[in-house]
Amino acid sequence: MLSRPKRAHSSRVVARLLQSLFVVWAAATAAFVLMRLAPGDPYTTRIDVPANERAQWSAQRGFDQPIPVQYVKWLRNLAVGDFGQSSYFKRPVLDVLRDVLPRTLLLMSLALTASVLLGMAIGAWQGTRVGTTGDSLLSTGSLLAYSVPEFWLGILLVQLFAQSLGWLPASGMVSTEYEYLPLSARIVDRLRHLVLPLTALTLLGTSLFARFQRSSMRDAWNEPFVQTARAKGLTERGVRWHAWRTALVPVVTMFGLMFPSLLGGAVFVESIFSWPGMGHTAVLAVNARDYNLAVAAVIVGSVMTVSGSLLADVLQRAVDPRTAA
């Protein structure tokens, strides 16, 4: 028989999972309705096809039916894992997602890792040196980096490093001659194409993590246990280590909550750099009124968002077991 704390923990887990499912369903439903309320459909936007054929195509696929009828059919198909056919790519939606999602995950995982490492290191350094010239300069730089919109930053990087200096490619994931390059040159080519979009996303995440880590480290640095540790003869490095561990809890929470920010930033960054990921594909789907692909992209984004929130809870409990009580 389960003890009361274990039953309470299990209930919280079930409640969080149900809440996550509701969020995904609500986001997908909103995307479904809004896409169909927008003017046109996947076939009426085809100006290269006569109007009567476009109307016939729309009727065959049920786009002329009331939205509630379309919604019930969509839910029925979704329940069996059928996301439908992409009208833009002329392929099943799941096949399109299998191609583009790993590219976005690669970009986001690298950006998140770099943001965490750089942001925590910068913020921890600032938190123990509040008010110094270095702290002021880094705080100003973090604020500027966080305030700059992703699309403007991406355009600036392209103008500077791709067009003006010619150091890095401006778009794409590989060069046109990629297939004819030796293995070592292929690796270098992929890395060169990755630098600019990764930099744009990493600057946003680093500035956010640095600001949170600085604030948390500053509060921990002023706690009585820091003075006690010094009085007991602990080295300055040891004092910083204990203060940093105490300051981790709010920063770890931000780790999971960064998923929505990075995913939103990836939409702009992938569009600017023509990175063939999910964000770029979602923009194409919306512009082409590709209902099935656009809604599927929203579902994947919602799943990633709620997964980040659940991950933040798990990490927070691991860093501070008191939150599990």
For 174-213, give one letter per residue: b (16+ CB within 10 A) or e.
Answer: ebeeeeeeeeeeeeebeeebbebbbbbbbbbbbbbbbbbb
Q: How far is CA 259 from the centre of its chain?
A: 4
Phi, psi of 92 (to 5 degrees): -60, 145
Q: Which residue has the higher pLDDT, 277 or 309?
A: 277
**Inter-axis angle of helices 278-287 and 291-319, nearest 10:** 150
Query: Can you give the pLDDT at residue 8?
Result: 57
Q: How far apart are CA 113 and CA 191, in angstroms?
A: 16
Residue by residue, DSSP assigns 232-301 as: TT--HHHHHHHHHHHTHHHHHHHHHHHHHHHHHHHHHHHHHTT--SHHHHHHHHHHTT-HHHHHHHHHHH
Identify the residue whose tokens are 């938190």.
127
Write the pLDDT tens digit of every residue in 268-304.
888 888 888 888 888 888 888 888 898 998 898 888 8
The lowest-confidence range among 33-37, 65-69, 184-188, 318-322 is: 318-322
Q: Which of 93, 42, 89 is nearest to 64 (CA)?
A: 42
| Confidence category of residue 85, pLDDT binned at 50, 70, 90 | confident
Q: What domains lie within the chain, and their CATH numbers?
A: 102-324 (1.10.3720.10)
Residue 45 predicted with pLDDT over 70:
no
Beta bridge partners, 85, equal: 92
Query: Can you give the pLDDT at residue 4?
Result: 54
Q: How far apart are CA 7 and CA 323, in angstroms?
A: 16
**AA letter at 85:** Q
- Give the chain's mean pLDDT: 80
Other Cβ atoms closer than 10 A to 249: 17
